[in-house]
Structure 1
Amino acid sequence: MARLAAFDMDGTLLMPDHHLGEQTLRTLRRLRNERQMTLAFATGRHVLEMRHVLGSIDLDAFLITGNGTRIHSMEGELLHRQDLTPDAAGIVIHQPWDTKASMHVFNDTGWLTEHDIPELLHAHVYSGFRYRLADFKRLSMDEVTKICFCGDHEDLSRLKIQLSEALGDKAFLCFSATDCLEVLPVGCNKGSALGKLSEHLGMTLQECMAFGDAMNDREMLSLVGQGLVMGNAMAQLKNELPHLPVIGHCSNQAVSHYLTHWLDTPNLTYSPE
């Protein structure tokens, strides 16, 4: 029986307008109140943003943020942190790349970028979280949590090859969306972070269920006892995890739909909405 439920945010819990549906929120509260399940939000978003989200919905949950670079308790205590090495951060930030993608740097102070790109703020309309403009040449390479590039998928795929050749085993690369390529610390992903959290809680990963839609969810979905793939998931994720069940689309609050079935009619075969 699952005791811990972990949820990706974008493309999973959040609808395409980046809002959390009321039906989804009611179902999450049912998990807490009726089954006493522990909840965790596992996301690429910054902990500062997620604290605002939790405060606005009045729901207790552990936070796995920055794609596993930070784990915080329900009380806000830092349980785990991992940063890029200064060497890896310096290579990515200071070396020229053959790409049109924009670069974004994250540390504990927030989200930093060199150019004003207002359209990127649309994904953060729910929280009001926003970037700060910074001169990367003057940025300290210490305590860089992660770096991401936003742009066209084909361009990012070519960039991934460049980064891989330059970094070798100094960092972990993954797509958190088709238009977002992440550079993360070695061994850092949502799956390894969820493993640390479950150990902290005295549970095993087999006692966890998890929901996700992108390649940064791959490790988490493959390691838990019950991994669920969104119907709107990246094709590559579905291809790499063909043994996992696929539920409905985030626009239809499919996580809520699935969990309502799991709570009320677990003896019946599940069918996506």
Structure 2
Amino acid sequence: MDYALVATDFDGTLLPIGHDEILPRTREAIRRVRRQGVRFVIVSGRATTGLLNITRKFDIDTDGLYLIGFNGASAVQAWDGTTLFSHRLDLALARQVIARALAFDVVVMVPEGAEVFTNRPDSYAVAFETGANGTTSVELADPSIIGFAPCKVLLGGDHAELVRLEADLVSRFGEQTEILFSADFLLEVNARGVTKGEALAGLCEALGIPVERSIAFGDNHNDIPMLKAAGLGVAMANGVPEALAAADRVTLADTEDGVAVVLDELIPG
């Protein structure tokens, strides 16, 4: 197969968890395939603001780079910040989801631009979210009073409590939203139909690239739709069991240059 586009998750895929640098072999493999004209896309649950920040932090060349954030809700051209598409939650629906979440012992986070509106700014989940994206927290005792339609609602806390909340939200709003875990302590709510897979397919169509000519890499639950949508879905060995089962292929772990191993084989220099 002559692959024309590579899409990859960031945390746990390109960047090993706990590391502060992309591994040299992986970085060089990405540079090489990009020099060969293959389109490159970073697809993440992170806010697009955060993705733009990581291109600077990790010295990622933005020329011709596409960024898909919020689990597929928003896509931008990294080189000039132009938004290609944005699929937000309906405001009334978002307020209902948040109001229901506040009945549970969880942290509510609503990212927008460089800010995250939250009921618990001192929580670990908020520190993780703002630290990862280079954003700041804004305390809002009742986040359901937000005045904007968000790209996503992010819920943090104990896994068992989030599982209880997930079941409750699915029963109430499951037909109107996409609800999934991006980490054991993070539950995410997007508009119905918003997934990394739909975003990948939409971007391929916009670029005139058959989705069959794409490779996607991922490790977590929110990557599964993208692994299924791509021409070749590759899960990292450090991924969750569900991602490994959904992928066409499993590569080495993020700490073992799993992305580079596949790129070196399928798109050699």
Question: Aligned residue pairs: how many?
Answer: 262
**1:235 has 2:237 as partner:** no
Q: Is the 8 A contact 1:97 1:159 kept in 2?
A: no
SS of the residue 2:45 aligns to:
coil
* Aligned-residue offset at 1:170: 1.7
Q: How far apart, in 1, do the equivalents of 2:18 and 2:130 lie? A: 10
Q: Which residue of 2 aligns with 1:70?
A: 74
Cα offsets for 1:241-269 (capped at 9, x unmatched): 1x62111111223212332233449xxxx
Q: Is the 8 A contact 2:220 2:239 kept in 1?
A: yes
Which amino acid is the alignment partner of residue 100 of structure 1?
A: D
Q: How far apart, in 2, do the equivalents of 1:97 and 1:140 lie? A: 14
Alpha carbons of structure 1 residues 260 and 123: separation in structure 2 relative to 1, 3 Å = farther
Cα offsets for 1:36-81 (capped at 9, x unmatched): 1110000010111111111341412101001111011232111100
**1:173 has 2:179 as partner:** yes
Q: Which residue of 2 aligns with 1:271?
A: none
Instruction: Report the more deviating stretch, 2-11 or 164-173.
Output: 164-173
Cα offsets for 1:112-162 (capped at 9, x unmatched): 212133634357656644433233357325321111212233322221110
Given candidates 93, 96, 101, the residue that maps to 1:91 is: 96
Q: Is the 8 A contact 1:18 1:124 kept in 2?
A: no
Given candidates 255, 258, 272, the residue that maps to 2:259 is: 255
Calculate the aligned-residue CA RMSD, in Å: 2.2
Q: Which residue of 2 aligns with 1:115?
A: 120
TM-score by length of 1: 0.87
**1:16 has 2:17 as partner:** yes
Q: How far apart, in 2, do the equivalents of 1:256 and 1:228 lie? A: 12
* Aligned-residue offset at 1:212: 0.4
Q: Is the 8 A contact 1:98 1:159 kept in 2?
A: no
Alpha carbons of structure 1 residues 253 and 122: separation in structure 2 relative to 1, 3 Å = farther
Which amino acid is the alignment partner of residue 82 of structure 1?
A: H
SS of the residue 1:237 aligns to:
helix
Q: How far apart, in 1, do the equivalents of 2:165 and 2:184 lie? A: 13
* Aligned-residue offset at 1:187: 0.4
Which amino acid is the alignment partner of residue 7 of structure 1?
A: T
Q: Which residue of 2 aligns with 1:157?
A: 163
* Long gaps (5+) in structure 2: none
TM-score by length of 2: 0.88
Q: Which residue of 1 aligns with 2:203?
A: 197
Q: Which residue of 1 aligns with 2:139?
A: 133
* Long gaps (5+) in structure 1: 266-273
Given candidates 17, 25, 28, the residue that maps to 2:27 is: 25
Q: How far apart, in 1, do the equivalents of 2:93 and 2:202 lie? A: 24
SS of the residue 1:194 aligns to:
helix
Q: Which residue of 2 aligns with 1:3?
A: 4
**1:145 has 2:151 as partner:** yes
Which amino acid is the alignment partner of residue 18 of structure 2?
A: D
Q: Is the 8 A contact 2:96 2:144 kept in 1?
A: no
Q: How far apart, in 2, do the equivalents of 1:138 and 1:163 lie? A: 15
Instruction: Report the more deviating stretch, 170-179 or 200-209.
Output: 170-179
